[in-house]
Chain A
């Protein structure tokens, strides 16, 4: 045995250089490097969208800058952001929560309630509403995270279901039951009420998206983000390093819950009301669908999935009711006239044909090369 003065180096290390080295980026052609700026370009395009009178027939009903299109775009952005936040749990921490809808709904219901019943102005109500959502996420998360795996999923489902039932039962008339609650017109800031101000709503939605992307990206690259990754893959191993997974998971849960609560407030603004549909586990399920559609665990996947899903959800109804469909023979027409059928089928096809979601599409060829 040699004296161990020099660190023992295995011979392979020095001679064999890994084929796929990440430094390859450095000597990439200039357009590649420019390609890295595309998010900024997209952002500029999104910010200026309300000024555009460009028409995208088929994609949008009316010019981009029209109220209806902006409303739809804003909804797409909100759900893109919501899915991105949800993926913090699903893709980055490996927590499959079936109760994310609850925090979204908490944000929108409590904001509406505080504004309408306590009579506070809208923005303070919104802050309080988000705090309510955060508190709820904290409280329920700290209980649910005592178990893990499918048991965690089921406990979150149970909580969400309980929340949904409570909202439906309309205790003391506060939730409005299945009719939900509409924001009284006088409670909205004047700059947000009315169709002429849809662009402002749109910008709020965009700001929410940017906020979510920033928070998620930051969080994932933070020290905590690394721990999340570890927890996702093997929790015990994280403990052995001296870290308590519980706390980290709770942070993920609360951050995602807070983002959802903010989303709830934006949604409240956009639709003018809080609706019980947003409390159901179906709603969480649709978040799940969005995330997977785009690609769980990737940076842009959930956003893409959320945008596409929401767009399809709104526009497939038009397709289903269009003349093109009504002219078809009944074997085709009957199923095609159901937007949910189209959506479900689309989703199944994506899951089966595009493992890893839509964002994998672009990456595929590189793997083959």
Chain B
């Protein structure tokens, strides 16, 4: 029983992490049709910026309490900035050429981890976090790490914020229309570029937040962390139905749980295999993902 509880709780935590990573990806993919391979890089930038701030380089920031919150905010801000720069410098000049946009992000995805590893070394760095979050709490006999709760909370907040953004503002609409026919959107008198940049920035912010909290989750940061999370984020995005944020949340939880249970109960830890098989099966049965939104 305790094992099942532990697996379920940590599976949810893992799902929350996947969702945090996938949310921005899903947003950008769903609205802009850009499968952003640089998402992992943005994640890593967020993680390193948070780590840098939390290990005492930023005045006021630190590894505990308000200092840590400040560090996370700083990391998110840096990641957002990076996303904006990325959009302005690479995505914008390539509007209307979706394949090239994707490829440009592939290039960034290669270059950024290499740069990080050139500056801070290829090794993992311990990630300072508040002591309050490093303990465990008991639940039905299982000892569950506290930071999983933080992840779950953050995931819920991000989900809510993205839904509000999409539901209450015109930007989502503008970007979706812009992907279909940019010229026509401008011909309606709308500055579609601003909306694109904004969406990219929000996606980047979500990625960076995911990176910062991922550091907490793993207890360390390393240059390849973002990229290795990316593949599961893809799985989640696609399973969730091509850019449906709610679908991504659902898929993230599913993937987290399946992976955790399969890892534990199959003899050789076939969790990730189970996940990709699940993805393939789902796509073959329902090519549009769980929520069935347009591919």
Chains A and B directly touch (beta carbon < 8 Å): yes
A→B interface (CB under 8 Å) = 96, 143-144, 146-151, 154-155, 157-159, 161-162, 165-166, 169, 281, 285, 288-289, 292, 296, 334-335, 337-341, 343-348, 351-352, 355
In the complex, what's the smallest C-beta–C-beta distance from A282 to chain B, in angstroms?
Answer: 9
Taken residue by residue from 66 to 110, chain B's Cβ proximity to chain A (1 for < 8 Å, 0 otherwise) reads as 000000000000000000000000100110010110011011111
Majority-rule SS of B interface residues: helix
Given the interface pairs A150-B35, A158-B277, A159-B280, the reply to whether A345 lies near B107 with Cβ below 8 Å is yes
Closest 7 CB pairs between A and B? A344-B111, A344-B110, A348-B107, A340-B114, A341-B114, A347-B107, A338-B114
Chain B residue with the shortest CB-CB distance to A345: B111
Q: Give 14 A-B pairs besides A344-B109, A348-B111 with Cβ atoms closer than 8 angstroms.
A: A148-B287, A150-B35, A150-B238, A155-B279, A158-B280, A165-B273, A285-B106, A338-B117, A344-B108, A344-B111, A345-B107, A345-B111, A347-B103, A355-B100
Q: How far is the CA of A265 from the CA of B32 in the complex (A)?
A: 40
Given the interface pairs A157-B234, A169-B268, A352-B93, the reply to whether A162 lies near B276 with Cβ below 8 Å is yes
Q: What are the residues of chain A within 8 A of B187 when measuring CB–CB?
A: none
Q: How far is the CA of A356 from the CA of B234 in the complex (A)?
A: 27
Q: What are the residues of chain B within 8 A of A355 when measuring CB–CB?
A: 94, 97, 100
Chain A residue with the shortest CB-CB distance to B237: A154
User: How many residues of chain B have a CB within 8 Å of chain A?
Assistant: 40
* One of A151, A162, A341 near B283 (C-beta < 8 A): A151
5 A-B contacts (beta carbon < 8 Å): A150-B238, A154-B283, A158-B283, A351-B107, A352-B100
Q: How far is the CA of A158 from the CA of B231 in the complex (A)?
A: 10
Q: What are the residues of chain B within 8 A of A159 when measuring CB–CB?
A: 276, 280
* One of A147, A169, A345 near B284 (C-beta < 8 A): A147
Contact between chains at B113 and A340 (CB < 8 Å)? yes
Given the interface pairs A147-B283, A348-B108, the reply to whether A166 lies near B242 with Cβ below 8 Å is no
Let me know if B156 is at the binding interface, CB within 8 A: no
Q: What are the residues of chain B within 8 A of A285 when measuring CB–CB?
A: 37, 106
* One of A155, A166, A345 near B280 (C-beta < 8 A): A155
Q: How far is the CA of A166 from the CA of B270 in the complex (A)?
A: 10
Q: How far is the CA of A296 from the CA of B97 in the complex (A)?
A: 13
* One of B93, B108, B295 near A151 (C-beta < 8 A): B295
Q: How far is the CA of A289 from the CA of B100 in the complex (A)?
A: 10
Q: What are the residues of chain A within 8 A of B273 when measuring CB–CB?
A: 162, 165-166
Let me know if B115 is at the binding interface, CB within 8 A: yes
Q: What are the residues of chain A within 8 A of B231 when measuring CB–CB?
A: 157, 161, 281
Q: How far is the CA of A341 from the CA of B284 in the complex (A)?
A: 37
In the complex, what's the smallest C-beta–C-beta distance from A175 to chain B, in angstroms?
Answer: 14
Q: How far is the CA of A161 from the CA of B103 in the complex (A)?
A: 20
Chain B residue with the shortest CB-CB distance to A140: B280
Let me know if B118 is at the binding interface, CB within 8 A: yes
Contact between chains at A337 and B118 (CB < 8 Å)? yes
Q: What are the residues of chain A within 8 A of B35 when measuring CB–CB?
A: 150
Chain B residue with the shortest CB-CB distance to A146: B284
Q: What are the residues of chain B within 8 A of A344 when measuring CB–CB?
A: 107-112, 114
B→A interface (CB under 8 Å) = 35, 37, 90, 93-94, 97, 99-100, 103-104, 106-115, 117-119, 231, 234-235, 238, 242, 268, 272-273, 276-277, 279-280, 283-284, 287-288, 295
In the complex, what's the smallest C-beta–C-beta distance from B226 to chain A, in angstroms?
Answer: 14
Given the interface pairs A147-B284, A161-B231, A341-B114, the reply to whether A154 lies near B238 with Cβ below 8 Å is yes
Contact between chains at A352 and B94 (CB < 8 Å)? yes
Q: How far is the CA of A345 from the CA of B35 in the complex (A)?
A: 19
* One of A154, A334, A346 near B118 (C-beta < 8 A): A334
Contact between chains at A162 and B277 (CB < 8 Å)? yes
Q: What are the residues of chain B within 8 A of A158 when measuring CB–CB?
A: 235, 276-277, 279-280, 283
Given the interface pairs A155-B284, A335-B115, A352-B93, the reply to whether A292 lies near B238 with Cβ below 8 Å is no
In the complex, what's the smallest C-beta–C-beta distance from A338 to chain B, in angstroms?
Answer: 4
Q: What are the residues of chain A within 8 A of B283 when measuring CB–CB?
A: 147, 151, 154-155, 158
Contact between chains at B111 and A289 (CB < 8 Å)? no
Contact between chains at B276 and A165 (CB < 8 Å)? yes
* One of A147, A166, A340, A348 near B104 (C-beta < 8 A): A348
In the complex, what's the smallest C-beta–C-beta distance from A225 to chain B, in angstroms?
Answer: 21
In the complex, what's the smallest C-beta–C-beta distance from A104 to chain B, in angstroms?
Answer: 19
Chain A residue with the shortest CB-CB distance to B289: A151
Q: How far is the CA of A229 from the CA of B111 in the complex (A)?
A: 34
Q: How far is the CA of A355 from the CA of B295 in the complex (A)?
A: 26
Q: How far is the CA of A292 from the CA of B114 in the complex (A)?
A: 21
Q: How far is the CA of A117 from the CA of B200 in the complex (A)?
A: 52
Q: How far is the CA of A117 from the CA of B164 in the complex (A)?
A: 60
Q: What are the residues of chain B within 8 A of A146 when measuring CB–CB?
A: 284
Contact between chains at A335 and B118 (CB < 8 Å)? yes
* One of A96, A154, A347 near B234 (C-beta < 8 A): A154
Q: What are the residues of chain A within 8 A of B111 when measuring CB–CB?
A: 340-341, 343-345, 348
Contact between chains at B110 and A288 (CB < 8 Å)? no
Q: How far is the CA of A71 from the CA of B279 in the complex (A)?
A: 40
In the complex, what's the smallest C-beta–C-beta distance from A154 to chain B, in angstroms?
Answer: 5
Q: What are the residues of chain B within 8 A of A154 when measuring CB–CB?
A: 234-235, 238, 279, 283
In the complex, what's the smallest C-beta–C-beta distance from A98 to chain B, in angstroms?
Answer: 9
Contact between chains at A149 and B114 (CB < 8 Å)? no
In the complex, what's the smallest C-beta–C-beta distance from A34 to chain B, in angstroms?
Answer: 34
In the complex, what's the smallest C-beta–C-beta distance from B154 to chain A, in angstroms?
Answer: 26
Contact between chains at B284 and A352 (CB < 8 Å)? no
